[in-house]
Amino acid sequence: MANEEEFRKVGRRREEMTTVLILLEKLLSNLQINLLLISLIITLIGQNTRKRKRWSIEDPTRMLDSIPAHVKQLDRLVRLTDWSCVDNLRMDRNTFGRLCRILRDRAGLIDQKFVTVEEQVAMFLCVLSHHKKTRIVGYDFMRSSHTVSRYIHIVLRGVLMLHNLFLVKTSPIDDSCNDRRWSWFKGCLGWEGSAGDSRILRDAISRPLGLKVPKGCYYLCDNAYPNAEGFVTPFKGVHYHLKEWGPSTQAPQMPEELFNLRHSKARNVIERSFAVLKMRWGILCFASFYPIEVQTGLIIACFLLHNFIRDQMAVDPVEEELGDHNDDGDETDQEQALVDHINSVEPSAGWNKKRDDLATAMWAERHNV
């Protein structure tokens, strides 16, 4: 019995030892796996750290090496001659410098680490002037298209912030006007081109903050509009376009013809302004590839910068290039046939009489002008 009990104890000890050995083997196996994982993680972290350190050392050096080339490119645009600056950015060097200074002081533009305000504005003006895509501008300025796109949006926001400074407030023609083309149209606010669709005018008038015409004031319009309150149109069925009143043709023979002639000359001033805008900003001449919200901002920016240039530059080469040539804006018969006359605003007898009285006064004073 004693020997049998000892054999049992020895058997239990062996089983316990076997269990302990199995547990130790599992622990060692898990430890090896964990060590391998830890070693792999350390290796990967070390590689990423070395990569980041390598780029953090090399990138600034590479950028610093390219700075002289960027400065040289900007100098070619805005510091060598006024002609090169006007050709590329549509303004002379002094005007460009003033614009950058205003954007710094009023709109909060600042020099970035590698891109100055002058270069940001130059890239933006290149897009407006020549309707270039961001990758083309990036190639010219040795920047990535992402960088160009970023600064185009920054400068655009800055220019739009200056609308109170650059926007010209509309004021009616008054008695002090000495321009013969406008002096007869007292109270005129400007020219309203053909809407082509009655929904445009109806929508503009129906909005709470839409088109508002002060009492007694009006817009000169073409025959697509009715001669209603706030809109003065030419007489229908009577000669109108300037080419119909050339040197080889007879002078106006009735009040309606004289009114149409002067109405056309006033209209031509506005058409000429649009021609100057399109000559200055190439982006206005073609369909844009920007989102509609950005397109709206870019068009407004073109008008604001146009006003700024006219205010700052004593001699505008773009207007000189256009010269005294007045685009009459004639439409072909096919284009005229496609224009929908606006019927949403009924003609006004009172405004018809006002137009008739104005034509009669012009006719009575025709030899004194």
Q: Each residue of 296-333: pLDDT tens digit? A: 999 999 999 999 999 999 888 888 777 655 444 444 44
pLDDT tens-digit map of 240-283: 776 666 665 677 888 998 898 888 888 888 788 888 899 999 99
Residue 110 sits in the same domain as residue 239: no
How distant, in Å, are the alpha carbons of 202, 225, 351, 354 from that of 347? Answer: 14, 9, 8, 12
Total of domains in the chain: 2
Q: Write down the mean pLDDT value for the chain.
A: 78
pLDDT of residue 368: 63
The pLDDT of 41-61, averaged and rounded, is 53
Q: E strands, the chain, where?
A: 188-192, 218-221, 231-232
- Indicate whether 51 belongs to any domain: no
- Indicate whether 251 belongs to any domain: yes
Which of 74-88, 117-131, 249-263, 273-287 has the highest mean predicted lDDT (pLDDT)? 117-131
Q: Domain of 100?
A: 77-166
Residue 218 sits in the same domain as residue 339: yes
How distant, in Å, are the alpha carbons of 88, 225, 230, 232, 354 from that of 345? Answer: 45, 8, 11, 13, 17
Report d(CA 60, CA 170) in Å as an integer. Answer: 51
Residue 139 sits in the same domain as residue 192: no
Q: Residues with Cβ < 8 Å from 291, sequence gap 6 or more?
A: none
Question: Is residue 119 a contact partner of residue 129, using CB atoms and an 8 Å limit?
Answer: no
The fraction of the chain above a pLDDT of 90, given in percent, is 27
69 has pLDDT over 80: no
Q: Residues with Cβ < 8 Å from 234, sequence gap 6 or more?
A: 222, 223, 240, 259, 260, 263, 264
Residue 218 sits in the same domain as residue 115: no
pLDDT of residue 7: 63
Domain C-terminal end among 166, 196, 217: 166
Domain C-terminal end among 100, 131, 166: 166
Domain C-terminal end among 111, 136, 166: 166
- Indicate whether 320 belongs to any domain: yes
Question: Is residue 79 a contact partner of residue 90, using CB atoms and an 8 Å limit?
Answer: no
Higher pLDDT, 237 or 44: 237
Residue 234 sits in the same domain as residue 304: yes
- Indicate whether 52 belongs to any domain: no
- Indicate whether 298 belongs to any domain: yes
54 has pLDDT over 50: no
- Indicate whether 146 belongs to any domain: yes
- Indicate whether 7 belongs to any domain: no
Which of 115-124, 162-171, 184-193, 335-344 has the highest mean predicted lDDT (pLDDT)? 115-124
pTM summary value:
0.69
Residue 205 sits in the same domain as residue 157: no
Which tokens in the block code for residue 162?
């200056």
Residue 161 sits in the same domain as residue 223: no
pLDDT of residue 33: 72
pLDDT of residue 333: 42
Higher pLDDT, 67 or 143: 143
The pLDDT of 76-98, averaged and rounded, is 86
Q: Whose CA is closest to 219, among 209, 205, 206?
A: 205
- Indicate whether 115 belongs to any domain: yes
Question: Is residue 97 a contact partner of residue 79, using CB atoms and an 8 Å limit?
Answer: no
Residue 145 sits in the same domain as residue 276: no
pLDDT of residue 317: 83
Q: Look at the chain and count its residues.
A: 369
Report d(CA 116, CA 96) in Å as an integer. Answer: 14
pLDDT tens-digit map of 17-50: 777 667 767 666 676 677 766 777 777 666 554 4
The full 3-state SS of 212-260, as one line of letters, equals CCCCCCEEEECCCCCCCCCEECCCCCCCCCHHHHCCCCCCCCCHHHHHH
Residue 122 sits in the same domain as residue 266: no
The pLDDT of 3-20, averaged and rounded, is 69
Residue 341 sits in the same domain as residue 233: yes
At residue 343 the predicted structure's pLDDT band, cuts being 50, 70 and 90, is very low
Residue 196 sits in the same domain as residue 337: yes
Residue 223 sits in the same domain as residue 318: yes
